[in-house]
Amino acid sequence: MRVFVVGLLAALFFSVTFILNRSMELEGGSWVWSASLRFFFMLPMLIAIVGFQGKIRPVLVHLKNHPTAWIVWSSVGFGFFYAPIAFATVYGPGWLVAATFQLTIIAGSLLVPFLEKQTGIKQSIPVKSVLISVLILGGVILMQLEHASAVPLASVWLCTLPLLLSAFSYPLGNRKMMQVVGNELNTFQRILGMTIASMPFWLILSVYGAIAHGAPSSSQLVQTFIVAVSSGIIATGLFFYATNLVKHDNQKLAGVEATQSGEVVFALMGEIIFLHAAMPSALSFAGVFLVIGGMVLHSLNSGMREKEAFQEVSKAK
């Protein structure tokens, strides 16, 4: 049970992102600063972590040898992933943003042929995964329909479309960077490299923020720092720790991955408790359960696929 508890703790700390982004929006803080400050704060923390491991030099060498790939895919994987999430929070509550972002599971499945084509290994879209993901899509549609009954239709689109961009950018940018890096860097080294390489994106965005919205408030500085520590460092560390403990057991690994569905529940509870958000309707709750159910089934299906693949390899030997 320990790994599942650690996985749930990671989901709890990840959910802080959605709660505090909504909090900053309600206080009048700009989404631009909510997004860019997180990565500005993460940079020195990651330098400290990787520096403690004595592994900064390989990151800098790799960045120097492949600057274009690092900048392009880091901007996609971090910039076009997180900036739209912060923007969407302007038009919808954090729990709705957290739930809608789970469309990234569908996006990841649809991107498989394109991503694997780059490696020379031909793979088709995993049909079973896509079918399971219909549950997630159905849940998101239910929640957004309920949202549409309370806000102008334009707000629904301004919440949903940026999250679609984010949902595709996250797996695309990260998987492309994993292909570029291979086994040359560990996970924290790759995150540090992507944070460094995405700095031009965040600097441009922050210049726009300064011109359009002025400087961030002290409250926004504090809250984005908390997000950087909670989601960028603690949650990431806990999740990697949990997955590392069970990396040789596909069923348990799938179970740990499924705990991340808790982000939606924690974000919802956090907004109700700390931001005094209204309780969602029965329709929205049905959507939440469909999203969570789809995520759990998707993770279990991934575990079964990996187990079957391992058995086939074993038989071949």
User: 90-133 pLDDT, tens per residue?
Assistant: 999 999 999 999 888 788 878 877 776 555 555 666 677 777 77
What pLDDT does residue 2 have? 79
151-178 pLDDT per residue, tens: 898 999 999 999 999 999 998 998 899 8
Whether the Cβ atoms of residue 50 and residue 188 lie closer than 8 Å to each other:
yes
Using alpha carbons, select from 99, 83, 92 the residue that is nearest to residue 30: 83
Tokens of 62: 């790799």
pLDDT of 266 over the 80 cut: yes
71-92 pLDDT per residue, tens: 999 999 999 999 999 999 999 9
191-235 pLDDT per residue, tens: 999 999 999 999 999 999 999 999 999 999 999 999 999 998 999
What pLDDT does residue 82 have? 96
Using alpha carbons, select from 94, 241, 126, 115 the residue that is nearest to residue 171: 115
Using alpha carbons, select from 88, 50, 21, 86 the residue that is nearest to residue 227: 21
Q: What pTM does this model have?
A: 0.88
Instruction: Give the span between the Cα atoms of 226 and 302, in whole angstroms.
Output: 33
Whether the Cβ atoms of residue 72 and residue 81 lie closer than 8 Å to each other:
no
For the chain, the average pLDDT equals 87
What are the C-alpha distances in Å from 95 to residues 131, 141, 224, 279, 287?
Answer: 24, 14, 18, 11, 12
pLDDT of 310 over the 60 cut: no
What integer is the mean pLDDT of 33-58?
A: 96
Residue 76 CB neighbour total at 10 angstroms: 23
What integer is the mean pLDDT of 26-50?
A: 96
